[in-house]
Structure 1
């Protein structure tokens, strides 16, 4: 079957009970894409949860809301990623007394030693360490002709220093690196960040890194984020407990995008970013929601924004003011 023209796609939408017509909406459909736009926003979370879309303008509003949330969050995610790498780099260099990855591999990436050698956890941790070694070698091979500092060290017969490797690591690769670190090094990182000692913050930070990885990748690849369909795995319930203890906000289970906003605001607070910046993030996010609450039918808007969202944002403002 040949691909449908834009006119045929508009006719198909009308056959689906969705009002669309005119050159303006035709242009908007071309701009957002039939598959990325309509196909992406005709459901929430899972393809079985179809939305009662009746007008193409509703698709336009959902797309605009999602784009604005991504635009708002992306620079903050990048700030957190950079800071996490720098906190980790400082702790690793302090323990290893070397910037050579081979030295760090021997002295710092030894999480497997925390398990009984006869257990499956020991074997899994050891295997994860081996995969990390392979992934770092692959990263160096992948980037050696792209990054000037990689070429600089390679052409002078020197090993690639850990800081250069960190510069090229994805957030997922960094998460695997952190997972392989010996527990005292993880402890030094979370202590430096100011995470609470009454929780297993070393483990919680790993869960947080992978939660952020999913969100960052979705934003970077322009995937839909407003219904958190980007989440690839369960996030430890203890992350929600940590945030409840720190912010007084309950019901945090990362089933909606507001919970990720709370996490980002909390991490920015740990990093001592100005209070005005954090307040602006919360108010800008709230402004986006209020705008599209007016534009979208309640049955559609409520599928993306939970009833407890306003209460969460009120408590988040109080937390930022006091922190």
Structure 2
């Protein structure tokens, strides 16, 4: 039998979490016992329980997470849009056509440069990409940009496919491109030539994919539990070389701020916009550093955050 809200509050009290009064009852109802309390009682993984003693701390963690998502979402969307546009320009120029079938034959050919198992893996990824894009074209419902071309029995331009493509689809598309196309994209972004930026950008796209999906689906963000896999340490080396920020390992949400600011600057976003992002993040973590017990806050935000933000500000000022 499901527990009532009053029963859930009693269960919390029985387990050492102080909760009471109409305002906290309303807050629990608004955030949900399972999405709220259950989701914020640990950091990263369930085994890493937080020493929470009151529902006020749970509510603060929930609000902390919400503030971060509100801050990050517009910037992540701007980066996603820009990355797609940089790539669109490069592939259309490379293929000499805006139509997907031409791009498929001429530009989505990165597998050809590989051998052995790497060739097989890249070839299979290209085939999966084809299936995904065919699904977007023929399985898509509605009279949108794709439907307009499909229902008129016309070739679908790649820009229409990009309109409905997820960031995960886009990451696969980018990874399947011939190296000469990837090189045009990273050159346009002024990324370094000595750290295989073509591959690093792909890894950044997939890191952003997990981050973006967590924000968009209102999953927990503040403890980076959204990561679906390890991020190559070469990305950290690139960010250290470019921004001066050391110790980036994406085990802390601060490191995603470093990644966002780096990409925004490479895309030509202003210093003012980047400073606003850093200042906004700093303000949020300072607020909740004051509201949360240190033994809770320190399991979410590392002590290195302040130093990283200082270095990141210097990168923005000097870049």
TM-score when normalising by structure 2: 0.99
- Residue from 103, 120, 125 that aligns with 1:123: 120
- Residue from 138, 155, 173 that aligns with 1:141: 138
- Aligned partners of 2:209 and 2:83: how far apart in 1? 12
- Aligned partners of 2:125 and 2:182: how far apart in 1? 16
Map of 1:232 onto structure 2: 228
- Aligned partners of 2:151 and 2:307: how far apart in 1? 57
What is the CA deviation profile of residues 276-323 of structure 1, one whole-angstrom value per residue up to 9, with x for unaligned ones?
Answer: 111011011000011001100000000001011111111111111111
**Is the counterpart of residue 315 in structure 1 residue 311 in structure 2?**
yes
TM-score when normalising by structure 1: 0.97
Structure 1 unaligned residues grouped into runs of 5+: none
Describe how 1:172-191 pairs up with structure 2 within 5 A. Answer: 172-191=168-187
Q: Secondary structure at the match of 1:304?
A: coil
- Aligned partners of 2:130 and 2:229: how far apart in 1? 24
**Cα offset, 1:46, TM superposition:** 0.7
What is the CA deviation profile of residues 40-68 of structure 1, one whole-angstrom value per residue up to 9, with x for unaligned ones?
Answer: 01100110011110000000100001000
**Cα offset, 1:103, TM superposition:** 1.1
State the aligned residue count. 319
- Aligned partners of 1:280 and 1:30: how far apart in 2? 34
Map of 2:83 onto structure 1: 84
Describe how 1:206-285 pairs up with structure 2 within 5 A. Answer: 206-285=202-281
- Aligned partners of 2:85 and 2:197: how far apart in 1? 18
- Residue from 129, 148, 168 that aligns with 1:132: 129
- Aligned partners of 1:24 and 1:142: how far apart in 2? 47
- Aligned partners of 2:176 and 2:55: how far apart in 1? 49
- Aligned partners of 2:213 and 2:138: how far apart in 1? 22
RMSD (Å) for aligned C-alpha atoms: 0.8
- Aligned partners of 1:74 and 1:36: how far apart in 2? 20
**Cα offset, 1:141, TM superposition:** 2.7
- Aligned partners of 1:217 and 1:148: how far apart in 2? 23
What is the CA deviation profile of residues 114-145 of structure 1, one whole-angstrom value per residue up to 9, with x for unaligned ones?
Answer: 112xx1111111111111110101111332x3
Structure 2 unaligned residues grouped into runs of 5+: none
